[in-house]
Amino acid sequence: MKTLLKLSWRNIWRNKRRTFITVASIFFAVFFSVFMNSVQRGAWVRMLDNVVNFYFGYAQIHQKGFWDEQSIEKAFQMNAEIEKLPQQVSGLEGMVPRLESFALASYGTNTRGVLLIGTNPPLENSLSGLRERVVKGRYFKENENAVLLSEGLAKLLKISLNDTLVLISQGYHGVNAAGKYPVVGLVKFASPDLNKQMAYLPLKVAQGFYGAENLITSLALKIKDKDAGKKVVRAVSDRLGSDDYEVLGWQEMLPDLLEAQKTDAAGNYLFLIVLYIIITFGIFGTILMMTKERSFEFGVLVSIGMNRMLLGFTVWLEVILLGLLGALLGIIGSLPVVYYFHLNPIDLSGFSKDITKVYAKWGFDPLLPAALEWQLFFWQAVLVVAITSVLAIYPIWKIKNLQPVEAMRE
């Protein structure tokens, strides 16, 4: 085997021009496929982090039916069974309790409907990084009688730091909810819609406002490995049961985003299929040319008694070596490019304002980072080598049916 490998390696360098053409075609196939997949993967990971981690979390626990109704009447109380979940479920780092409902916010003569969230400030920051979104003022504290507003909402209400915001709503079981809270900070969200309607109160203060003592409407789950999110959701759901609670992953909470991801991935795969079809014909053309040029050589070797299968296997090894060489160079060539764009994402804001507006509407920043994941390099290389291996069957078939005299005449 060692001798055959050495012979095959020498053979592929007998015609350097042909070898360079074949290796170059494989190199570019691996290079472009790795780069495209890494950007597509990286862009969606960032988008999901923007949309999911900024508020929703990768999964949430509600009382059964809450997500469809979004009613404060579906609030529930934490119990010992729920509190023990982070210790019992592998991959679940923590939970963020929230009390969510709608309210009417007023300042002076200006009023606006808002999404009012009562939450635990330290836990909320650990999940969504809310503290880092503060653009004016400061972050709120636990049990502080104060409100944190989104920047766009503050502009609509024409309210500033330290001004007093009036909130009016309907509380738990229909009680009247009204309160006045000083504005201690303004936060900014990428999504214009969310930036115009978000208001935060400390959880205890919100529970007092809505008359919902010790009640919450949701628990956002902090999951250590987002790729294991579905596994964590199943484990939590199994422990709680489906009669009283619903445990929803982001896929169920945001089906439109999931469909958009699938559509984008399908378009990317279609482009890759076209790319690989082109590359397949390019490689096959090179193999066809190589087989034709060496017909005389194959005829002589078969005539002097060389085993056809051994000759075919040697030629197959030559093609495989070309595929491996091209794939290896493709990985080496794409790695620094992917690494660069991993650290320096492609900024679409410089290309078109319309693109920036579309991304902002969905809550994304217009940045496309490349994902630096070994699977992307490995599987693209494996795919190219597999294509090359299949195409290498052609010279074996040609040698098996070779007529030595005719081949030497050609």
Q: Establish if 181 belongs to a structural domain.
A: yes
pLDDT in tens, 152-192: 999 999 999 999 999 999 999 888 999 999 999 999 887 77
Q: Give the confidence band of 323 by pLDDT, cuts at 50, 70, 90.
A: confident
Is residue 246 domain-resident? no
Torsion angle of the four alpha carbons 236, 237, 243, 248, in this order, in degrees rounded to the nearest 10: 110
Q: Is there a domain that residue 249 lies in? A: no
pLDDT confidence bin for 22, thresholds 50/70/90 = confident
Query: Does the residue 390 lie in any domain?
Result: yes
Are residues 346 and 200 both part of a single domain?
A: no
Q: Is the pTM of this model over 0.85?
A: no
Identify whether residues 36 and 105 lie together within a single domain: no
CA pseudo-torsion sign 241, 243, 247, 252? positive
For the chain, how many structural domains are there in total?
2
Rounded to an integer, what distance in angstroms lies between the CA atom of residue 308 and that of residue 291? 14
pLDDT score of 363 more than 60? no
Domain membership of residue 228 (yes or no) is: yes
Which phi-psi region, left, alpha or beta, contains residue 202 (left: φ > 0; alpha: ψ -120 to 50)? Answer: beta
Q: Clarify whether residues 69 and 47 are in a common domain.
A: no
Residues 11, 93, single domain; the answer is: no
Q: Are residues 236 and 269 in the same domain?
A: no
User: Is position 7 within any domain?
Assistant: yes
Q: Give yes or no: residues 306 and 228 share one domain.
A: no
Do 232 and 264 belong together in one domain? no
Which residue in 255, 229, 254, 240 sits closest to 76, CA to CA? 240
Query: Are residues 263 and 173 part of one domain?
Result: no
Q: Band of the pLDDT at 202, cuts 50, 70, 90?
A: very high
CA–CA separation, 295 and 290 (whole Å): 9
Average pLDDT over residues 132-156: 93
Same domain, yes or no: 217 and 273? no
Q: Among the listed ranges 155-169, 210-224, 286-300, 324-338, which one has the minimum average pLDDT value?
A: 286-300
Q: Are residues 87 and 133 in the same domain?
A: yes
Pick from 33, 24, 11, 22: which is nearest to 285 by CA?
Answer: 22
- Asked if 75 contacts 215 with a C-beta cutoff of 8 angstroms, the reply is yes
Please determine, for residue 3, whether its predicted confidence score (pLDDT) is greater than 90: no
* Helix segments in 344-369, DSSP class H: 353-361
Whether residue 247 lies inside any domain: the answer is no
**Do residue 91 and residue 46 come from a single domain?**
no
How many other CB atoms are there within 10 angstroms of residue 280's CB atom? 17
One domain, residues 70 and 47: no
Whether residue 251 is contained in a domain is answered as no
Share of residues in the chain with pLDDT > 70 (%) = 91
Grade residue 364 by pLDDT with cuts at 50, 70 and 90: low
Examine the fold and report which residue of 216, 241, 266 is the final residue of a domain before the chain moves on.
241
- Domain limits at 323? 2-52+257-409
The neighbour count for residue 243, using CB atoms within 10 Å, is 6
Which residue type, as a one-letter code, is found at position 339?
Y
Which of the listed residues 241, 276, 305 is the one where a domain comes to its end?
241
Nearby residues of 239 by Cβ (< 8 Å), 6 or more positions away:
81, 85, 88, 89
Picking from 208, 241, 274, the residue at the C-terminal end of a domain is 241
